[in-house]
Amino acid sequence: MSEALFVVNAGSSSIKFKLYRILGHDIAPLITGALDGIGTQPRLRAKDADGAVLVDRSFTAEEIAKPSHAQHAIGDWVTPLIGAYDLIGVGHRVVHGGPHYSHPVIVDDEVLRTLESFIPLAPLHQLTNLDPIRVLRERRPDLPQVACFDTAFHRGHPEIADRFALPRALYDDGVRRYGFHGLSYEYVSGRLREIVPDLAAGRVVICHLGSGASACALLNGRSMESTMGFTALDGLPMGTRCGALDAGVVLHLIEQKGLTPAQVGHMLYHDSGLRGLSGISSDMRTLLASPDPAAALAVDYFTLHVAQAVASLSVTLGGLDALVFTAGIGEHAPEVRSRVASRLGFLGVDLDEQANSTASTDIQSDRSSVRVLVVPTDEERMIGLHTLKLLGRK
């Protein structure tokens, strides 16, 4: 019986999953699927390695009201298929590893309790990351589960990149810049070593642009600084999250406007970013297609702040050899890439608009002194490889 492993990438409104067959030191996808629209219009879809549809089923919002319900539904559907393989473990994306975890770990009771303590630092993600782990521990307590952290890739930053201008005691207590989207950056960094090894060793800024958005400065493939910080609120404006914000605004909302901390938190996580700026949608596709001036403002705000982040991270690196776009917006929105690049001409960035419109890997023009690339990310594969290694199969 062939060995396999299962990967779960749980978000606030969807759970992506993949079943991988183990091929020596590598893995190959057998099933790729997702249950999205949790709590609104839940829909389970999955395909095999050849792209054939295995399931396409809708649920009511009451049937799949939260991620734990989604995990049970996925488990009920996929278990008979998994039965044909020797399942050695399950890998999970966990957003926040805090100061404790700089590498993937096998989840036990103590690890789970520690990860639960980080829920306030990533309330949109951490709880939903942990729900599938709990469900699987109930269903298969014998099955090893591995937590792979979005913060781990950024560990080892120079202290100057991790510090806030706050008293040292707070830094020692764990109040520091952790950075997120690390599994995506790690995967893209590895792909750069494969496709452009000369550039991968240089000064690279990767823009992970999706409903969550951030940028990361890499030198010789290592993270040197990221726009995200102590929580996943900092840095770039996102679909519903505010990005960088004057801390005085939070004090004003609490002290002068009378909002509770919970109300402020809900606003910053759920009602801000593109949604707050436009008053229309958190979806970049909707905003790009809209004639509403508020939608145009939101897009302009987003692209300006992405360009500012690239420029700032270039200072950290002492220059810029390559700019990389990845994730949903980064891979599929040529207009966003064009608007960002147009603001970075002073750094030597210049796009070939024809290549950009077709999302070629290389989209810079002959005049550009900076290589500009579109590199699709694959967090699930990164999780799978980490899980394989930790379980001693690599």
Task: Provide CB contacts within 8 A for 375, sequence distance 6+.
Answer: 188, 191, 192, 195, 324, 325, 326, 361
List strands edge to edge, sheet with 3-10.
53-58, 43-48, 26-36, 14-23, 3-10, 86-94, 145-149, 105-106
Nearest Cα to Cα of residue 371 among 195, 181, 154: 195
List of domains in the chain: 3-149 (3.30.420.40), 197-374 (3.30.420.40)
User: What pLDDT is stored for residue 90 in this prediction?
Assistant: 95
pLDDT (tens digit per residue) in 57-88: 999 989 998 878 888 899 899 989 888 899 99
181 and 293 Cβ atoms separated by less than 8 Å = no
Burial class (CB within 10 angstroms; exposed 0-12, middle 13-18, buried 19+) of 339: middle
Burial class (CB within 10 angstroms; exposed 0-12, middle 13-18, buried 19+) of 254: middle
Where in the sequence numbering do the catalytic residues fall? 150
State how far the Cα of 48 lies from the Cα of 221, in Å rounded to an integer: 33
Prediction pTM value: 0.92
User: What pLDDT is stored for residue 361 in this prediction?
Assistant: 94
Question: Which residue ranges in the chain fall short of pLDDT 50?
Answer: 394
User: What pLDDT is stored for residue 393 in this prediction?
Assistant: 55
